[in-house]
Amino acid sequence: MRGAAKSSTLPGSAAPSDAELLAALPRLHRAPGDGPEAAVCAILDQVRGRGAAAVQEFSERFDGVRPARLRVPAAALVAALEELDPAIRAALEASIDRARAFAADQLPQDVTTSFGADASVTVRWVPVQRVGLYVPGGLAVYPSSVIMNVVPAQAAGVSSVALVSPPARDGSGLPHPTILAAAQLLGVSEVYAMGGAQAIAALAYGLEADPEQGLPEALAPVSLITGPGNKFVATAKGLLKGLVGIDAEAGPTEIAILADSTANPEFVAADLISQAEHDPEAASVLITDSEALVSALQEPLARQVAATKHTERVVTSLTGEQSGVLLVADLDTAVRAANLYAAEHLEIHTADPDAVAERIVNAGAVFVGEYSPVSLGDYSAGSNHVLPTLGTALHASGLHTATFLKAQQEIRYGRAGLAQVAGHVRTLADAEDLPAHGDAVDVRSSLA
């Protein structure tokens, strides 16, 4: 990639080891303490101690706005939808329809396993009761993230939703009107004008009512926080994990493209740039076995970068240490590298993309074939765009309906069913030197 800080070549007949591939892949590696942890910890402490007043101070400092009302009034939500451009409304509704269909199809079924007439166990999927949804709003406006958060939560049956988004710099003290309109379209009425780590803290700790700070009613703490955001948001979620549940680390956007000599360089360039425009820390990575593609990419990439609106952000992202090209000897090595990188988004532009997709086991979402660009998934494919970043796709999933569900187990035994296993319980309880456990079963047979 022209100007990219890191362009690695690992051709040759000897297969590189996993460690060599990982070292050659571009990624922003921060040592503990190099990131924003200290700054974010201070924000979390202030919000826990001083509530809404601290939130307002951080909004003023980082967003340049001190909202008159932290809780967005119902009238502002109604007005935003009434004034929404009809074309944007139609596009949002089309995205909502597809996202709803996909989210509904994912609902897991309760399952009961019987061990005879008088003994069974059940897994019952129960929605988290109250969730906090983060919708970013710093460098860009993300009404699409309202849909991606709210739709699976509603499909799961979540009954209480608090949505937060930074106040826009338009003097209104409110999040961007398209975000408010999307919330109203989806029937979400509890919306707050706050962003960054301070908003994540407010959701996790809750806020006491403070009319002087524009909060006439308390914000009740949530049990789960989902949604994407920049490094401050992702770090706050990581630090509060445990006190609340979080979906995954959904930080600055990443795209990896796995391509061979059949790839169209114009498409590859456009897709790398599309995700680089999110954030100077966004990552765009090409993994290929084709030197010809790397050469052919240079001209369209330079041309498209020069022509795009957010050139400065895109150049910073493409030339950062998190972006670059990895040239390898063959497609097998490219697949191995993609699985080691575990991208948030992985596009496959090869002669047989389905065959390659079958071999991908680590990615937030896989975009199969050159007519499935990431920006389709960002808005209108039906899939979810809140996806794990920074290699967390090795173990984490993107937002989906089950993110908002708990697998609650039920144990239903009667006297006869218990009698069948009572001896085993006694034996195992004694083996663990926990005899009262065994006694709790024996008391039932002795009193029967």
Ligand X SMILES: NC(=O)c1ccc[n+]([C@@H]2O[C@H](COP(=O)([O-])OP(=O)(O)OC[C@H]3O[C@@H](n4cnc5c(N)ncnc54)[C@H](O)[C@@H]3O)[C@@H](O)[C@H]2O)c1
Specify the 3-state DSSP secondary structure of 345. Answer: strand
Asked if residue 271 binds ligand HSO (CB under 6 A), the reply is no
- Of 65-73, 86-94, 138-146, 365-373, the segment contacting ligand X by CB under 6 A is 138-146
**344 catalytically annotated:** yes
> For residues 177 and 83, what is the distance between their CA atoms, to the nearest angstrom?
9
Per-residue x/- track, 378-417, ligand HSO (CB under 6 A): x------x-x------------------------------
- 364 to 393, contacts with ligand X by CB under 6 A? 385-387, 389
Q: How far is the CB of 233 from ligand X (least distance, A)?
A: 4
> Which is nearer to ligand X, 67 or 136 (by Cβ)?
136
At 41, the amino acid letter reads: C
Q: Specify the residue for token string 């937030």.
A: 364
Specify the 3-state DSSP secondary structure of 187. Answer: coil
> For residues 292 and 288, what is the distance between their CA atoms, to the nearest angstrom?
10
> Does 385 appear as a known binding residue?
no
> For residues 192 and 73, what is the distance between their CA atoms, to the nearest angstrom?
9
Q: Which two tokens stand for residue 121?
A: 């166990």
Q: Could you tell me where the DSSP H helices lie in 106-191? A: 143-156, 177-185
- Would you say 191 and 180 are in contact if contact means Cβ atoms under 8 Å apart? yes
> For residues 232 and 249, what is the distance between their CA atoms, to the nearest angstrom?
11
- Would you say 361 and 321 are in contact if contact means Cβ atoms under 8 Å apart? no
Q: How far is the CB of 385 from ligand X (least distance, A)?
A: 5
Residue from 260, 253, 228, 186 nearest 390 by CA: 253
> Which is nearer to ligand X, 229 or 373 (by Cβ)?
229
Phi, psi of 284 (to 5 degrees): -130, 120
> Does 322 appear as a known binding residue?
no
Q: Which of 254, 344, 347, 370 is catalytic?
A: 344
**Which does residue 39 touch among ligand X, Zn ion, ligand HSO, none (CB within 5 to 8 A, set by kind)?**
ligand X
List 213, 253, 290, 392, residue binding ligand X (CB under 6 A) = 253
Asked if residue 344 binds ligand X (CB under 6 A), the reply is yes
Binding site for ligand X (CB under 6 A): 39, 62-63, 136-140, 145, 166, 195-197, 228-230, 232-233, 250-253, 278-279, 282, 344, 385-387, 389
Catalytic sites, residue numbers:
344-345
Binding site per annotation, positions for substrate:
253, 275, 278, 345, 378, 432, 437
